Amino acid sequence: MVELSRQRIRRNVWDRPDIAAVWSGEPLDPRESHAIRHQLSQSGFYTGLSRGNLILDLASGAYSYLDIRKFNGAKAIAVDLSSHMLQNLRRQYGQRYGGYVLGDGTQIPMGTNSVDRTLCTFMMRYLTEGEQKEALLEMIRVTKPGGKIALVDYEVTRHEGEMTRFSPEIITQTLLDRDIQAELAVAGKTVRVESGVLPVPNARSPMHFVTLTV
Ligand SMILES: C[S@@+](CC[C@H](N)C(=O)[O-])C[C@H]1O[C@@H](n2cnc3c(N)ncnc32)[C@H](O)[C@@H]1O
């Protein structure tokens, strides 16, 4: 019960116009966005993209780390559970995104194997551990075999008076689960995980960059 109401409060917070406004500009430290953009390119996230491909920006918020010049004709779709975040994103990026969709990362409103790349920046640590696992499995479900998922998040921060956490170990542990391995085998997916910490000087806590090749 307590866990459920905590989740509801966290979710309601994201749809407040004032919170959406705070997250609508450049990150306070430009070295943060530079490090993320650089690593996205280095990790091969854009490699092989072409017209007809789809890039999912999950929990897009109102700020984009994607570089449209590297899309090579692919389209991006933003999914977020906050309508205010999506409105602010649309105001800034307009037709640079192919769609703006209200949806929950633990139940992504997209078909199985429907996207070629998935990016998810700074969502995971706001979810409970159970939700993080669900969101991970949803990202793998919607991403086509051969596709890539990039996950970026701080290890620990304080948000609305609560400590929020993300650790790449949650990903490796989830993928080691035998039932999940069996599910992935049925789906024809083998997932390779690579993870590292981005070099952001004076970062509040380690910033993890995790790449999953599906
Ligand atoms: C800290 S902001 C980050 C936004 C953006 N990705 C960025 O890096 O600037 C967190 C975003 O995650 C979204 N979010 C939180 N929980 C979510 C969930 N379960 N499903 C989808 N989006 C979620 C919030 O609405 C918010 O836009």
Query: Which residue reads 């990790």 in tokens?
Result: 43
Helices H, strands E: what count in the chain? 7, 9
How far apart are the CA of 175 and the centre of ligand 1, in A? 23
- What is the biggest distance separating any 2 CA atoms in the chain, rounded to whole angstroms? 47
What lies within 8 Å, CB to CB, of 147 at 6+ separation is: 115, 116, 117, 118, 213, 214
Other C-beta atoms closer than 10 Å to the C-beta of 2 total 6
Amino acid present at 71: F
Residue 164 beta carbon below 6 angstroms from any ligand 1 atom: no
Name the fold adopted by 2-213: Rossmann fold (3.40.50)
pLDDT tens, residue by residue, 72-114 = 999 999 999 999 999 999 999 999 999 999 999 999 999 999 9
Q: Which sequence spans correspond to the domains of the chain? A: 2-213
pLDDT tens, residue by residue, 112-137 = 999 999 999 999 998 988 999 999 99
How far apart are the CA of 186 and the centre of ligand 1, in A? 30
